[in-house]
Amino acid sequence: MAKPAPDYQPLETGHQQLKAALSLFRALGHAHASALISTGLDVMSVGTRLGHASPALTLTIYAHLFHNRDDDAAAIDAMLHDRNGK
């Protein structure tokens, strides 16, 4: 029986390499999303860049990264309240 060529790899090794490559690809996608969100990009724009079918999918995955704007809204309310003297 002939020996396999030196570059021969068992199927399991090739499968493991594929899984590693897909994992790296997924990690790069998450890093890209994180970078977009950290710049303040809105949900629609981030989802479009990532190829998501809807903003709901983007929020399902990345909601924890979006800045909670309630603190900003409260600060604006307080400023307007002080400005109007109420």
Give the model confidence (pLDDT) of 23-62 as tens digits: 988 899 999 999 999 998 999 999 999 999 999 999 999 9
Strand, helix or coil for residue 24: helix
Domain count across the chain: 1
- In angstroms, rounded to a whole number, what is the distance separating the alpha carbons of residues 40 and 58? 14
The residue segments making up the domain with residue 63 are 26-83
Strand, helix or coil for residue 6: coil
Entry pTM:
0.61
Give the model confidence (pLDDT) of 60-83 as tens digits: 999 999 877 778 788 888 888 887
- In angstroms, rounded to a whole number, what is the distance separating the alpha carbons of residues 9 and 11? 6
Quote the radius of gyration of the chain (alpha carbons, Å).
24
More confident residue, 81 or 4: 81
Task: Please indicate, yes or no, if residue 14 is contained in any of the structural domains.
Answer: no
Q: What local confidence, expressed as pLDDT, does residue 4 receive? A: 60
Task: Please indicate, yes or no, if residue 10 is contained in any of the structural domains.
Answer: no
Instruction: Give yes or no for a contact between 37 and 46, defined as CB atoms under 8 angstroms apart.
Output: yes
- In angstroms, rounded to a whole number, what is the distance separating the alpha carbons of residues 79 and 34? 31
Helix axes 43-50, 55-62, angle to 10 degrees: 100
